[in-house]
Every structure is written in C-alpha cells, then in structure tokens.
Amino acid sequence: MNNKMHTEGVVIHWHGIRQCHRLELATGFLATPKTGKHEEDFIFEQEKLKFGTPWADGTASISQCAVNPGETFVYKFVADKPGTYFYHGHFGMQRAAGLYGSLIVLDSPEQPEPFRHQYDDGGELPMMLLSDWWHQNVYAQAAGLDGKDRHFEWIGEPQTILINGRGQFECTLGPARKSFEKLLNENVETCVDDQKMCSDQEKCLRRSECGPYCPRSQCAPVVFNVEQGKTYRLRIASTTSLSLLNVKIQGHKMTVVEADGNHVEPFVVDDIDIYSGESYSVLLKADQKPASYWISVGVRGRHPKTVPALAILSYGNGNAAPPPLQLPAGEPPVTPAWNDTQRSKAFTYSIRARKDTNRPPPAAADRQIVLLNTQNLMDGRYRWSINNNANMLREEVSETHPWHLHGHDFWVLGYGDGRYDPAAHAAGLNAADPPLRNTAVVFPHGWTALRFVANNTGAWAFHCHIEPHLHMGMGVVFVEGEDRMHELDVPKDAMACGLVARTAATPLTPATPLPPSPAPAP
C-alpha cells in the first residue's frame, strides 16, 4: 500500500480476516495430518505453536503505526477461510471519506462451501457494497465531534446511501429548497426541466413524476443482470459510518446462507437488515417473469432523513451483452418502518450456525468481561463511552450498536433486554448452535452475550463500528499473549513512523507477566 496522500497517514484494515495461520475445512475444524489424534487435540497443539500476523490487521496505533505520506507498507497475511469480507481505512474517519472496497475469499474446488451446488447454474452476482455519504467532509465532522461543551456538533444524518459507490440525492426542486431535511417533509410534485436535472453539474437522481432518475447521471442505479430460472449468490456487505440499512428486492425472496464469512442454517426472508461491519451471502432465484425489478436500500433504526438508494435487478436472455435497460414498473418496494425494532430482532435471532458445519463454543468461560455502553447527556448533547455512567443518562434514549472484534470470530450466545444478570440469563444462552460472527449488534436497552477463545497473540481492537462513536471512544483493546509478543517477527516499519522507524526502532522485549485472571463468574 503506497500512501500518495500529501497530508495524512493511512492504514488498511482487512475486515473479517483474522490474521492467523490456520486452515479451516468446511466443517469448521482444522485440517489435520494423519497422526491418529482427535481434531480437537490437534487444534489445541497447533494454536499453541502458530503465530499469526497481527501487525497486518491495519488498525492505526494498535496493530501498526500509520503509514506516512510518501511511504509504502506491504500487507502480507493468510486468508484462512472463504467468505465475504471487505477492507477499509482505520485511521481517523477515512472510511467515511470513501476508503473501502470489497474483499472476497473464494472456496477451493476440493473444499467447496456447502451451498455451492445451489447456485452453480447462475453463479455469483457482483458484490453489493453499501455505505452512506455526507456532503460535509470528514475533517469538519471530526472537528465537530471533538468540540467541547457547546462546540460539540453531531454529524447528522447522511445525505445519500451508496450502492457500489453510486447514490441518489433528492434535488428535484433544485436550489429552491433551503435544506434537504425540509424537502423530505414536503410533498414533491413540481417537475423541473430535464436538461437542468441531468446536467453534469447536478448529477443526482430525481424523485417525482418526471421520472425515477437521470439516465446520463453518474447516479444512475447499479444494475444486476440475471437470467430467468437460475439461482444466484449475492454477497452484501455494509461499510456504513452510521446507518443500519435494509435491502429489499421487488417481487423476490432471499435465502440467507452466510454471515461474516461463516455458514448459517439457511432461512428465507423478504428483506434483510444489515448493520455496519456485517456481511451476508444470500441465494436469489430469478423466478419472476422477465422484466426489471427495483432493489431498495433504506435506513432503519434511526428516524430517516435520507432517501432510499435504488438498484435494478434486470432479467436478460442469456446473451453475453446485457439487454437494454428497462425501468421497473411501479414504485420501488418500501423497506420496513425505521423504528420496528421487533422486526430487526426477529431477523437477528433467526441466524443460527449451519447444522452440518457447526462448531460449538467451549462449554464454559474462564473469564467474564462486562462492557457497559453508556449514552450520556452532557450540556444537551449525547456522547458515548464505555464503562462510564457518571454523567446524566436518559433512560428513554438508546441506540443500536454493532460491535466488531478484530483478529477473531466469536460465538453469539444470546440477546436480551435490560441488564445482563448471570444468575437469570446464563441458563438461557444458546450453546448448541450459536452463529460465529465478527460483528454483533447490541439492541437498544439490551445486552448481547459473546464468547471467543483468546488464542491469537496480538493486540486486537473491539469497538462499535459506527464511525463517529468509535471516534468518540467507544472501543477497547484486547491484548492476548503479551508474554509471547517478543516472539513475533514484527516488521520494524509497523512499529514506528517515518524517520523514527529508520533511526530509533527497537525490537519488542519480553513483557512483564500479567496478573492471574479473576475466577470465572458462577
């Protein structure tokens, strides 16, 4: 990665890549030599001996120093299991500025994913990478978030939702409206001249009786081409800075088969919620009459001030060249109500590990860690923190937070309302078929129970994936194997910046042993 920016450092985080040296089979267990040992025994021995590449995780000031302007850093790591991932900047708010992209790890012919045969006839559609976009630049956003007291400014709602980098902004009435937020609360009935709307200067999608979008605009919807009767795999990932999104395809159902690079028990949905940091694979059968169909991506979990993004599912005739685009008939499908939390919970609770590849979690935890999300009201403004409720907390205010763990997958054991009480809730946790994820949501006024094995030496971030929340401090770092870090072969340019890396970098030395962990909770 060569940093050609003139004024700021940069790092790239490979979201979902665990930076470990392990080879997983489709069953979820490790490949073993013919030693006659049980797989579980070999897993334990191999994980004790192997080191990964934590310095390639791409987390500024945690896994590596930021790469300065004009400098180059080479990321080398093992993609240890197939799945749907992405990469993004992890320095400042660079993800919100557009530094992200798709990352797909393919399965091998010798070890195909268990649902591979279900879409052999259609293959894969282009990945759908979702994000949100503000007209205000990220430097101004960060300055507002860093402001003290009355100078604190929240970033507000995004102006646009992006699908593969394309989005639509409501400017049907041009500059006549004073603000975009005001426009959303009014009925748009007046049309304007096509030339004005489709000029190079406007480059936006229209929403009115004039038509759905400007055909020559850079904001014209992304098109996914299919052939009637075939089944396709559609990978969906969300790099949003703020928004929980919902994807709904006009006249079609989807079968969820993968979540965060892990197989899940298939289940059919009309639409799919996706939080920042999550990824899914769905199977889509082109079982409708040949035509074009709208794909809507709307905001949920927050009062929407952003118009839904649109894409098009277009049926073709099997020719190599896509057919001429025909606009879908009717209105785009409406995504579920933004505040229907029960619907969101129902979808999330439906995700279970696939039966034939299930790898149950350890039966008990050696240590219990409790992180308390607090949303504090300070001088009329809300701020977020961890394990700190000293400031005024308004009980009626609570948001949904997607938490992402670097360097690991974890088992999602359960969810609940109120505060977690081991005596009341531990017996109800799912130890049979919990899904493996790298991102899990904490619902408003609720708790989420996770379990992971600390077997990957390194320093790993665990944080809310909402960009402004992380910027304000909603995150922690898990340090694993501190007493063995001196054995890691860390590149010196990962440990120091610029001239320091060339003149004063020193190798890691053995760390002082950590105190013993407290006894596990009963």
Cα–Cα distance measured from residue 243 to residue 499, given in angstroms and rounded to the nearest whole number: 39
Residue percentage of the chain with pLDDT more than 90: 55
The domains spanning 1-112 and 128-168+221-349 adopt the same CATH topology: yes
Average confidence (pLDDT) over 159-176? 69
C-alpha angle 163-19-462 in degrees, rounded to nearest 5? 70
Residue with tokens 């205000």: 136
> Do the beta carbons of residue 223 and residue 311 sit within 8 Å?
yes
Domain ranges of the chain: 1-112, 128-168+221-349, 359-480
Cα–Cα distance measured from residue 334 to residue 308, given in angstroms and rounded to the nearest whole number: 9
Of 363 and 202, which is predicted with more confidence? 363
Q: Label residue 95 by pLDDT band (50, 70, 90).
A: very high
CATH of domain 359-480: 2.60.40.420
What pLDDT, on the 0 to 100 scale, is given for residue 355?
93
Cα–Cα distance measured from residue 380 to residue 152, given in angstroms and rounded to the nearest whole number: 10
Question: Dihedral sign, CA of 145, 149, 153, 156?
Answer: positive
Of 330 and 178, which is predicted with more confidence? 330
Q: Name the fold adopted by 128-168+221-349.
A: Immunoglobulin-like (2.60.40)
159-168, 175-184, 270-279, 402-411: which range is least confident on average?
A: 175-184
Q: Rounded to an integer, what is the distance from CA 356 to the centroid of its chain?
A: 26
For every residue of 127-146, DSSP letters joined together read: PEEEEEE-SS-HHHHHHHHH
Task: Please state the pTM of the whole predicted model.
Answer: 0.82
Q: Label residue 386 by pLDDT band (50, 70, 90).
A: low
Cβ neighbors of 502 (< 8 A, separation 6 or more) are: none
Rounded mean pLDDT of the chain? 80
What pLDDT, on the 0 to 100 scale, is given for residue 152?
87
Dihedral angle at the C-alpha atoms of 88, 93, 98, 101, nearest 10 degrees? 10
Model pLDDT for residues 268-296, shown as the tens digit of each residue: 999 999 999 999 999 999 999 999 999 99
What pLDDT, on the 0 to 100 scale, is given for residue 202?
42
- Asked whether the predicted pLDDT for residue 22 surpasses 50, the reply is yes
> Do the beta carbons of residue 467 and residue 97 sit within 8 Å?
no
- Span between the terminal Cα atoms of the chain, in Å: 48
Correct CATH for 1-112 of 2.60.40.420, 3.40.50.300, 3.20.20.10, 2.40.50.1020: 2.60.40.420
Model pLDDT for residues 345-366, shown as the tens digit of each residue: 999 999 999 998 888 999 889 9
